[in-house]
Amino acid sequence: MAVSRREGRAGRDVLRTVGEASVLVLISLADRPRHGYALIHDIKEFAGVELGPGTLYGALDRLERLGLIESLPAEDRRHPYRITAPGAAALRVHLDSIERVSAAGRLRLQLGGV
């Protein structure tokens, strides 16, 4: 089921259905624009996940179609992307949702807070 951009602005978690790679890309772009190789390296560093080129570019295409990222003019042969305001808002909503689910799980497992 497709989720509209409008629903994302209304506080719904539009990232719930886009997949982990797309969320990792948004997190990587949250602090500055990056091109493909820099995204792969950054995601490997902060998440320990190694995205293949097909997975990465599939996520970039999906996020761009949703208006959550935008491509910037090419620098040499590198093609950078940046997060958009709706992308940052969607990421905040998604991270809040993850935190609520994590807190419920930790409570039920009697693990306490982190």
From first to last of its 114 residues, the chain has per-residue pLDDT tens of: 344 443 444 567 778 777 899 999 999 999 999 999 999 999 999 999 999 999 999 999 999 999 999 999 998 889 999 999 999 999 999 999 999 999 999 999 988 765
- Residues 55 and 5: their CA atoms lie apart, in Å, by 22
User: What single-letter amino acid sits at 74?
Assistant: A
- Residues 27 and 102: their CA atoms lie apart, in Å, by 18
From the number of C-beta atoms within 10 Å of its C-beta (0-12, 13-18, 19+), residue 15 rates as buried
Give whole-number Cα distances, 21 to 13, 24, 27, 45, in Å.
Answer: 16, 5, 10, 14
SS3 content of the chain, % helix, strand, coil (to 5): 60, 10, 30
Among residues 78, 75, 70, 97, which one has the least CA distance to residue 11?
97
